[in-house]
């Protein structure tokens, strides 16, 4: 039976234009939020380390406090603990897991408190020397802005999720100037789908943020770099870099959650944990002042190989310990910048010994591979490294190393640094995406075409005895008049009519209301949802709503057939042998 197929590649409507328009506004708001956050970091850096009320950029490494510098992160930690205890506990952590949790388990709803307190707390945490980046906080802040706007619009939960993610990645775009990497962050980590209704708003928000950021931030790449093309032997160096970066990702992630477990055993309220962790930050900052704060200047020096190896080793050791303990204490800060510094540092140390490329290339490669392996987002990491440097010669080494690091962590780590935090709250996230088998098949492919129907002219008494007696085959049957579907009839409906109307034709039991039906060219997923919403077991399949010509019946049991096809594709191992004339046989 041939049915005219009106389906397209995507499911969408004109509402998409309205959501995209809202996303454009969110792109502007997130850019403004990024500007405010970075100004707050500068303000609190000057207040804490230089005792001046100014937003002029100063590195905390330039302070002249001496041993008193140890107290600064502790003061910041105390303030963060109080804000989390009496403001909102949601400000704790590095932002991205909290955004994922809101998307998957909170109907993409975030509170105004988060939008206000997250940038403020992050500004205090980083401004007081916390070894964090601004990207996690701005992702959560931008996401909160998108969610809040979505809550004031009459939209679905899926559309609100698109606005939340649009705000999150627009904030990242504004901070780093990396719109493509931000879109890939959405695809690989936040959206949990790839549909026009989510991808287009995200792209619009990133485009708006990218164009508008030049009015508040410096234009051009954050870490401009130009390296030479690698030689063929560089492939082995890239593979080795990916494996080492994957091992670094595993070590950092495992260490972080070991530290978090240790904090959980302390006999004090979690409000005090950030201050306790900040003791280590203060000591590390005293020993290595450049390990304090965001450290974008340090990342730039590492990428350009401007630091001696001995300096890099000491700096990395302090940064790693400070970051793991501070983040494990539950303070507010991001993971991206510390990962960039640690990865670039490993590349700076090992680069002189890797053949096939110049030493500064390997700092970039290690930086991206560590990021991609740790966050399980290799494409995002590749594009991020390219967009912050504009080094096109590095694309192939980046692809090789990031894919290798990603494969290493997938094989050795059940969860990433982001999803582990959510799992510890009792939620499991499955990050393998695929086309739903119910989307790949239409109702026509699985429905039963030979339908046992009840003629509308027979009486209710005859219908009850004939179709609903001791040998009843189905719970409900379609009623038709001259092949036209009228409705589904079940035993309960007939018993309500008994015994007063035994002679009444069953066709008279149905009014003018349009019954619930399915259509042959609809996807199985659409019909499965309809069965669930109406709590039905079977639906009649008709040609169209005007004619109501009955074509078949689709039942819940029919909808498992696509899953059997998928099971066969995934679990039946086959081997084909091709003959000399193109034929083949299967073993």
Among 376, 401, 423, residue at a domain's last position: 423
HSE (side-chain half, CA atoms, 13 Å) at 109: 9
Of 168, 241, 244, the closest CA to residue 206 belongs to 168
Number of residues in the chain: 587
Same domain, 265 and 410: yes
Q: Are residues 198 and 147 in the same domain?
A: yes
CATH code for the domain of 320:
1.10.3080.10
Q: Cβ atoms within 10 A of the Cβ of 169, count?
A: 35
**Residue pLDDT, tens place only, 539-555:** 999 988 888 888 989 98
In Å, how far from its chain's centre is CA 133? 19
Q: Are 205 and 212 in contact (CB under 8 A)?
A: no
Of 489, 480, 490, whose CA–CA distance to 547 is shortest?
A: 480
Provide the pLDDT for residue 488: 85
Same domain, 27 and 144: yes
415 and 443 share one domain = no
In the three-class reduction of DSSP (H, G, I as helix; E, B as strand; rest coil), residue 422 is classed as helix
User: Measured between alpha carbons, how far is 188 from 375 in angstroms, rounded to an integer?
Assistant: 9
- Tell whether the model's pLDDT for residue 587 goes beyond 70: no
pLDDT at 502: 63
As for how many domains the chain has, the answer is 3
Same domain, 417 and 441: no
Instruction: Please state, in angstroms and rounded to a whole number, the distance separating the CA atoms of residues 237 and 401.
Output: 9
**Per-residue pLDDT tens over the stretch 27-55:** 999 999 999 989 999 999 999 999 999 88
- Do residues 317 and 395 share a domain? yes
- Tell whether 534 and 476 lie within a shared domain: yes
Assess if residue 247 is contained within a domain: yes
Does 324 fall in a domain?
A: yes
Alpha carbons 365 and 98: distance in angstroms, whole number: 29
Give the pLDDT confidence score for residue 401 in this predicted structure.
97
Q: Which domain holds residue 449?
A: 437-565
Residue 561 lies in a domain: yes
pLDDT at 499: 57
One-character DSSP codes across 524-573:
HHHHHHHHHHHT-SEEEEES-TTT-BEEEEEEGGGGGHHHHHHHHHHH--
> Among 383, 557, 550, which residue's Cα sits nearest to residue 474?
557
Percent of the chain with pLDDT over 90: 45
The whole-chain average pLDDT of the chain stands at 87
- Domain finish residue from 423, 447, 464: 423
- Assess if residue 223 is contained within a domain: no
Mean pLDDT throughout 206-212? 95
Asked if the peptide bond before residue 499 counts as cis, ω within 30 degrees of 0, the response is yes
The answer to whether the beta carbons of residues 521 and 443 sit under 8 Å apart is yes
Does 410 share its domain with 450?
Answer: no
Phi, psi dihedral angles at 234 (to 5 degrees): -65, -20
Q: Has residue 328 been placed in a domain? A: yes
Query: Could you tell me if residue 97 is inside a domain?
Result: yes
State the pTM of this model: 0.84
If asked whether residues 208 and 335 sit together in one domain, one would say no
Q: Each residue of 368-415: pLDDT tens digit?
A: 999 999 999 999 999 999 999 999 999 999 999 999 999 999 999 888
Within a domain: 577 = no
> Tell me, what CATH number does 527's domain have?
3.10.580.10
End-to-end, the C-alpha distance of the chain in Å comes to: 33
Residues 332 and 305 in one domain: yes
Determine, yes or no, domain membership for 505. yes
d(CA 60, CA 69): 10
240 and 157 in one domain?
A: no
The answer on 384 and 238 residing in a single domain is: yes
The confidence band for 533, taking pLDDT boundaries of 50, 70 and 90, is very high
Residue from 32, 171, 45 nearest 96 by CA: 171
Task: Give pLDDT, residue 3.
Answer: 47
Assigned token pair, 185: 């962050």
């Amino acid at each position: 039976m041939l049915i005219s197929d009106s389906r397209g590649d995507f499911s969408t409507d004109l509402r998409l234009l309205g959501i995209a328009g809202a996303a454009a506004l969110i792109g502007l708001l997130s850019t403004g939020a990024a500007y405010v956050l970075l100004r707050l970091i500068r303000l609190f850096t000057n207040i804490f380390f230089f005792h001046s009320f100014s937003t002029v950029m100063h590195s905390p490494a330039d302070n002249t406090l001496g041993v008193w510098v140890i107290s600064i992160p502790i003061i910041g930690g105390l303030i963060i603990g109080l804000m989390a205890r009496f403001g909102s506990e949601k400000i704790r952590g590095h932002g991205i897991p909290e955004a994922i949790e809101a998307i998957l388990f909170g109907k993409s709803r975030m509170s105004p408190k988060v939008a206000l307190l997250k940038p403020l707390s992050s500004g205090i945490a980083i401004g007081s020397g916390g070894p964090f980046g601004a990207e996690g906080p701005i992702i959560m802040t931008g996401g909160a802005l998108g969610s809040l706007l979505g809550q004031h619009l009459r939209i679905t939960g899926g559309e609100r999720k698109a606005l939340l993610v649009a705000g999150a990645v627009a904030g990242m775009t504004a901070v780093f100037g990396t719109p493509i990497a931000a879109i890939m962050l959405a695809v690989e980590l936040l959206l949990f789908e790839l549909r026009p209704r989510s991808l287009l708003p995200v792209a619009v928000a990133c485009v708006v943020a990218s164009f508008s950021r030049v009015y508040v931030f410096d234009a051009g790449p954050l870490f401009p770099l130009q390296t030479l093309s690698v030689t063929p032997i560089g492939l082995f160096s890239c593979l080795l870099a990916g494996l080492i970066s994957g091992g670094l990702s595993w070590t950092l992630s495992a260490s972080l959650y070991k530290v978090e477990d240790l904090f959980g055993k302390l006999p004090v309220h979690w409000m005090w944990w950030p201050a306790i962790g900040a003791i280590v930050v203060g000591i590390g900052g005293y020993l290595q002042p450049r390990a304090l704060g965001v450290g974008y200047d340090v990342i730039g020096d590492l990428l350009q190989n401007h630091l001696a190896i001995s300096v890099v080793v000491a700096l990395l050791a302090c940064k790693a310990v400070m970051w793991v303990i501070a983040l494990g204490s539950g303070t507010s800060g991001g993971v991206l910048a510390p990962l960039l510094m640690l990865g670039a540092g490993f590349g700076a140390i090992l680069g002189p010994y890797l053949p096939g490329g110049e030493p500064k290339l390997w700092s970039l490669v290690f930086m991206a591979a560590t990021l991609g392996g740790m966050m399980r987002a290799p494409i995002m990491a590749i594009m991020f490294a390219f967009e912050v440097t504009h080094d096109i010669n590095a694309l192939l080494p980046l692809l090789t190393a990031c894919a290798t690091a990603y494969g290493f962590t997938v094989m050795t780590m059940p969860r990433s640094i982001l999803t582990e935090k959510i799992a510890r709250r009792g939620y499991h996230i499955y990050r393998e995406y695929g086309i739903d088998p119910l989307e790949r098949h239409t109702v026509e492919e699985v429905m039963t075409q030979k339908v046992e129907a009840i003629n509308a002219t027979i009486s209710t008494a005859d219908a009850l005895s004939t179709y609903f007696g001791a040998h009843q085959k189905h719970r409900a049957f379609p009623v038709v008049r001259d092949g036209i579907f009228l409705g589904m009839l079940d035993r309960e409906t007939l018993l309500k009519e008994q015994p007063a109307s035994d002679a009444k034709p069953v066709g008279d039991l149905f009014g003018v209301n349009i019954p619930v039906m399915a259509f042959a060219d609809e996807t199985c997923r659409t019909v499965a949802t309809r069965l669930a919403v109406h709590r039905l077991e079977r639906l009649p399949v008709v040609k169209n709503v005007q004619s109501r010509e009955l074509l078949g019946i689709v039942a819940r049991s029919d909808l498992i057939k696509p899953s059997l096809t998928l099971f066969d594709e995934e679990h039946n191992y086959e081997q084909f042998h091709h003959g000399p004339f193109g034929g083949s046989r299967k073993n």
